Amino acid sequence: MGRKSKQKQKIILPPELPPEVPEDEIEVSDEDLQFVNENVDYAGFVSGLDTTSITKHVTRVADLKEDALERLYERRLQKKKLKEEEEKEKEKERKIEVDRVDALPVKSLDGQVYYRTLAEKKGGDGEEEDGGGDKGIVRLTKTERRAKMKKSKKEAKKLGKQVENTEQVEATPQAAVLAEVKEDLTAEATFETKKRKLAELGIALLADPESNIKSLKEMLQFCLDGDDVLIKLGLLSLLAVFKDIIPGYRIRLPTEKELEMKVSKEVKKMRFYESTLLSVYKAYLQKLVLLEKKSKFQHVAVRCICTLLEAVPHFNFRESLLAAVVKNIGSQDDVIRKLSCSAIKSIFVNEGKHGGAATVEAVELIADHVKALNCQLHPDSVEVFMSLSFHEDLRKPGEPDKESKVKNKKNRKRKNAEEPSQLQESDRKRSKKELTAKMREEVTADYKSAVFTPDVKEQRKMQSDMLSALFETYFRILKHTMLSTAASSQANGTLVDGESGAHPLLAPCLNGLGKFTHFIDLDYMGDLMNYLKKLAGGGSNSDNSSEKCAKGLTVSERLQCCIVAFKVMRSNLDALNVDLQGFFVQLYNLILEYRPGRDEGEVLAEALKIMLCEDRQHDMQKAAAFVKRLATFSLCFGSAESMAALVTLKQLLQKNVKCRNLLENDAGGGSVSGSIAKFQPYATDPNLSGALASVLWELDLLCKHYQPAISTIASSISTMNTSHNQVYLSSTSPQQVFRDLSLEQESFNSKPDLRKSNNKRKRGSGPSTLATIEENLNSTGSLDEDELRKKLSNHFNLLRDFKENEKLRNELDRTTSALQLYEEYKKQKKKTARRGIKIGEKGV
């Protein structure tokens, strides 16, 4: 058996693997199977002996012995040529006993050791010995190796022929048996064996990548196979292997010049290893990119690409990986998109892995992608920018100048020092000096490329590239949104429904702008603010069409625009206090357009906080207008929204003492009311609303709110004193309050007893319907749900009846009045007709 495996190994050894090897293997193993079947007591012997070799293999001590054996075999091969079949059989029997000690079992992925079935063992044996043989060869010098290779090839050819012959000879008597076995070996079995082979190859590679590097190619062959499942398995196992064995540096293939140079065999070995790895990796990537287009393999391929990009962003061919991932970043498929996004994010977050170069590439690629697809992408694709990080300390502009100045100074000094001495120096010396200088430059360049801490200047350049690509994307999205909304407003609102989804990237874009505002160049600021203002206004300036455009951009998006504008201002313009009048006007109008179900209350609360609570000063008129509007607003909406509005209102009143005139009970506002003598609730400009002439009567109603928090804050606001200036400012923000209350509201409904007591206290004099509800509620404690439901349905039925009744009555009234009108009209007509007749008579 050892002899046979030996022969087989010889066949496998050459790198250009003949594809018919597996068939060969199968046939040989069949023979063996037969052989073992004939000598049954023999098989038991095999299993009994192998345990010792397992441990040897695991600890890899076996390799040594194997080598020795290997050499022995080869010597024998040289001595003995081929022999007759019987002789071989005999020899086999003899050798097996020797071989038994080293017979290597196979350890599969799940950790089980296979040595029962001979076919498998055969395969495993061949594999392991292959590896061992490789090693043995590698240790020899090159020339020797070549010679051996040639020899072994020749022998293999010969042997192959002979084996074929013998097999043919064998085949005739045992054809029946063979056919039977072949039938047994169904497609499933071959699949199993292939799978197992794949696993073996993978494990061998992981165990010792340097010596088994050639089996990478073999693994790649599996991926070219026709079977879908096998291709997938091949791809995934190659992925696992690559993830493990790819080195932590970028492989640079040796130039021709370097190839000519004499190198030690270690270096040679290394080069061979690297070049094989690289070529297989390249082929693998090409295959992946190819398979990614087929829907069958898309998921697997994308997963492979993403994992590779996450694991080895520093390695060669990163560009193609990145390009493939970025292409999928806006994919319709959720799984693919999420994978791609997370891969890109990991690149952004783990900059240490690749030194930041990949980040720049990724950002630029995404920018190009957005440009190519005209901003019609999934929001996730721009959302990934949020995980970008920039180094703030790199932005110091004074640093490079200083460095260069110092350098110049040094140079000048050196020059001054050199000039007098240079005259005395001979030419040879000078040339020597130049040479050393050159050398030094080279060394520093090498050092720079090798050193891990990145160059500051380079990093700054990378960062500026990244920023320009980033903001290019953002501005492109803004511009595109603006153009599309303008187009929709021109289209007279007929396509409004389709248009609403036309700017999916706006929300993440605004978020990103808010996050990275402090990196925007001041020169772009003006344009940015203009864009934002137009977007906040729904894409148009005139009041008439703003309602139309509001459908193009949702209220939350417009609010977001306002927020971003304020963030931009705040982060950049501490030196100059700019009053963003336009955005205040927008906010003032947007408060009216807000609908609790449709729009995000969070955004509104944030806008209130950033624009009204945190801004330092307000005009009196504007503040008063906002106070009035917020009070009106808080009457109409849910408790969370109104709470946020009230907190803002309170802070506004605390800051603007004069606005507390609104709390006084005389309309007109007195001397502070300004030129506008009357409150105009529908004015679009807060400065022209004349809110100071009004009274905050809303607070009195809000004091009776069912929500205890709101009623307390309303009453505390209404007792605020005009003369007394409160220094204390409440620390709660509208956002926080909104969140608290919207959470509380959910739990609020599940606590009927709390509500009951509140209701009882505050609605003692409520109308009778409320009283009945309360009764219902009171009885809920003891009654079960069914009854409650019945009562509620009764109640609501009653209410509906009331309403219907009212509607009917209204209709009746209307028809009767119409009838009356008609009769009057008739009467009048008759009168006029008579008069006309009379006049006619007179005329006559």
Partner 1 sequence: MRPLEEKEMGEVFKKLMLFTGNNLKNIIESPSHEGPDPNPGRYCFRLHKNKVFYISESLVRRATNISRKNLVSLGTCIGKFTHRGDFRLTTQSLNLLAANAKNKVWLKPTSEMSFLYGNHVLKGGLGKITDSINQNDGVIVFSMSDVPLGFGTAARSTQDCRKCDPNGIVVHHYSDIGEYLRDEDDL
Nearest residue (CB) to partner 1, 312 versus 528? 528
Nearest residue (CB) to partner 1, 18 versus 670? 670
Nearest residue (CB) to partner 1, 428 versus 616? 616
What gap in Å lies between CA 555 and CA 131, rounded to an integer?
Answer: 68
Whether the CA torsion 310, 316, 317, 323 is positive or negative: it is: positive
Please pick, from the candidates 48, 397, 526, 767, the single residue that binds partner 1 as defined by CB under 8 A. Answer: 526
One-letter amino acid for residue 659 of the chain:
C
Helical (H) or strand (E) element with 843: helix 785-843
Nearest residue (CB) to partner 1, 254 versus 668? 668
Apex CA 774: angle with CA 770 and CA 779, to 5°? Answer: 150
Helical (H) or strand (E) element with 397: none
460 phi and psi angles, rounded to 5 deg? -65, -40
* Residue 573 C-beta: closest distance to partner 1, Å: 7
Site for partner 1 in 4-33 (CB under 8 A): none
* Residue 333 C-beta: closest distance to partner 1, Å: 44
* Residue 770 C-beta: closest distance to partner 1, Å: 43
Site for partner 1 contains 386 (CB under 8 A): no
Site for partner 1 contains 614 (CB under 8 A): no
One-letter amino acid for residue 687 of the chain:
N
- Residue span binding partner 1 (CB under 8 A) among the ranges 111-119, 203-211, 396-404, 670-678: 670-678
What is residue 553's DSSP assignment?
S
> How many beta carbons lie within 10 A of that of residue 120, not counting itself?
20
Site for partner 1 contains 525 (CB under 8 A): yes
Site for partner 1 contains 725 (CB under 8 A): no
Please pick, from the candidates 399, 619, 740, 744, the single residue that binds partner 1 as defined by CB under 8 A. Answer: 619
* Residue 798 C-beta: closest distance to partner 1, Å: 49
Helices (H), ranges, 185-327: 187-207, 215-223, 228-245, 256-260, 265-292, 298-311, 318-327
Please pick, from the candidates 162, 492, 617, 757, the single residue that binds partner 1 as defined by CB under 8 A. Answer: 617
Q: CA-based Rg of the chain, rounded to a whole angstrom? A: 43
Interaction pattern, residues 553-572, with partner 1; x per rule: CB under 8 A: ----------------x---
* Residue 522 C-beta: closest distance to partner 1, Å: 6
Helical (H) or strand (E) element with 98: helix 85-102
Nearest residue (CB) to partner 1, 26 versus 528? 528
Interaction pattern, residues 673-702, with partner 1; x per rule: CB under 8 A: -xxxx-------x--x--------------
- Residue span binding partner 1 (CB under 8 A) among the ranges 2-10, 12-20, 334-342, 616-624: 616-624
Structure tokens at 494: 């007929």
Site for partner 1 contains 576 (CB under 8 A): yes
What gap in Å lies between CA 195 and CA 737, rounded to an integer?
Answer: 60
Site for partner 1 contains 577 (CB under 8 A): yes
What gap in Å lies between CA 238 and CA 691, rounded to an integer?
Answer: 72
> How many beta carbons lie within 10 A of that of residue 238, not counting itself?
26
Beta bridge partners of 739: none
> How many beta carbons lie within 10 A of that of residue 401, not counting itself?
9
* Residue 347 C-beta: closest distance to partner 1, Å: 35
Helices (H), ranges, 516-576: 522-536, 543-550, 555-572
* Residue 371 C-beta: closest distance to partner 1, Å: 27
Q: Cα separations (Å) of 768 from 448, 774, 775, 795?
A: 85, 10, 10, 13
Nearest residue (CB) to partner 1, 385 versus 531? 531
Nearest residue (CB) to partner 1, 532 versus 714? 532
- Residue span binding partner 1 (CB under 8 A) among the ranges 81-89, 169-177, 436-444, 574-582: 574-582
* Residue 576 C-beta: closest distance to partner 1, Å: 5
- Residue span binding partner 1 (CB under 8 A) among the ranges 152-160, 438-446, 462-470, 579-587: 579-587
First to last CA, the chain: 143
> How many beta carbons lie within 10 A of that of residue 279, not counting itself?
14
Site for partner 1 contains 620 (CB under 8 A): yes
Nearest residue (CB) to partner 1, 40 versus 578? 578
Site for partner 1 contains 778 (CB under 8 A): no
Size of the site for partner 1 (CB under 8 A): 25
- Residue span binding partner 1 (CB under 8 A) among the ranges 219-227, 528-536, 741-749, 765-773: 528-536
Site for partner 1 contains 832 (CB under 8 A): no
- Residue span binding partner 1 (CB under 8 A) among the ranges 580-588, 636-644, 744-752, 806-814: 580-588
Q: Are 477 and 509 in contact (CB under 8 A)?
A: yes
What gap in Å lies between CA 485 and CA 558, rounded to an integer?
Answer: 12
What gap in Å lies between CA 528 and CA 520, rounded to an integer?
Answer: 9
Nearest residue (CB) to partner 1, 277 versus 569? 569
Q: Cα separations (Å) of 10 from 24, 73, 124, 196, 286?
A: 13, 11, 15, 22, 32
Please pick, from the candidates 20, 403, 547, 579, the single residue that binds partner 1 as defined by CB under 8 A. Answer: 579
* Positions that interact with partner 1 (CB under 8 A): 522, 525-526, 529-530, 533, 569, 573, 575-582, 617, 619-620, 674-677, 685, 688
